[in-house]
Chain A
Amino acid sequence: MSPLTFFPLAALIVACALGVILNLHPIRSALCLAMTLFLMAVMFVFLDAHLVAALQVIVYAGAILVLFLFVIMLLNLEADLPQKRRRVLTMAASAIGVVFALLSLRPLFFPGGALPGPGFDAAVPAEFGTATGIGELLFTRYVLPFEITGVLLLVAVLGAVVLAKKKLV
């Protein structure tokens, strides 16, 4: 992926992520998050992870975010008021965050040695990132986590139904 495509995409992702945490109205935050997730799927396609990109759109942007929007609409939330207390804590957290973010930019200016492994310039095998390739791994090496995830989803569904039910007193 050339720098010409990476930097605009990365800038967009960071802008939408900032929109998530800085927006006052929860629905606008949720929409910024949807945009972020969609752009992450685009980034995944550039990284040759096609199935994961499709799953990101179907599961994250298409189901989880819709659940968020549902809850926001159901509870009929309004825009938060700009909060007055905790001014010092907000400043401190933001400052430490900015410092960390700037530290993470260090590799751009002081590139270290090459990391082990084939690297981005190596040729990609044909089955990389396709459903066939990941399916093979899922059913051979990772079959136990796969099955446990099924049970986990069942437990989550049951828990969500029980918790969100109105008590018929």
Chain B
Amino acid sequence: MVPVTYYIALSVILFVIGAVGFLIRRNLIVMFMSIELMLNAANLAFVAFSRQQLAMDGQVIVFFVMTVAAAEVAVGLAIIIALFRHRETLNADEIRILRW
């Protein structure tokens, strides 16, 4: 039997991969996908702990996280499409009119 800390270690590694991806990639869509990776890492931690404590509350929270992620992706991709129509680029470095 694998102890629960192994699952948490996997969750942390996935979260770090998502965070590093968000920082080093400049393509808006890949940044968005790194956010989804971070959300999934959190989901894994919730489910692992839910199994450890034999309490289904963790899985209910995962249900809500998935719903919120779906809503966020819908609105975020709509914003990206609108942005692409204006600026013809998806590079986060080139969309900098409002920066100082």
Contacts and interface: CB of A to CB of B under 8 A. Distances in A.
**Chain A, interface size: which category?**
35 or more
Nearest to B82: A163
> Chain B: interface secondary structure?
helix
Contacts of B67: 59, 149, 152-153
Contacts of B30: 20-21, 26, 29, 80
Interface string B70-88: 1111110111111011000
A108 B10 CA distance: 11
Residue among A71, A74, A85, A96 having the largest count of chain B Cβ atoms under 10 Å: A71
B37 A36 contact: yes
Contacts of B1: 1-2, 120-121
Contacts, number: 227
A111 B29 contact: no
Interface of A: 1-3, 6, 10, 13-14, 17-18, 20-21, 26, 29-30, 33, 36-37, 40, 43-44, 47-49, 51-52, 55-56, 59-60, 63-64, 67-68, 71-72, 74-75, 77, 80, 83, 85-86, 89-90, 93-94, 96-97, 100-101, 104-105, 107-108, 111-112, 115, 117-122, 124-125, 128-129, 133-134, 137-138, 141-142, 145, 149, 152-153, 155-157, 159-161, 163-164, 166
Per CB-CB distance, the 10 closest pairs between chain A and chain B, nearest first, are A21-B21, A156-B71, A104-B12, A97-B20, A163-B78, A107-B5, A117-B53, A160-B78, A164-B78, A93-B23
Interface of B: 1-10, 12-14, 16-21, 23-27, 29-30, 32-34, 36-37, 40, 43-44, 47-48, 50-54, 56-57, 59-60, 62-64, 66-75, 77-82, 84-85, 90, 93
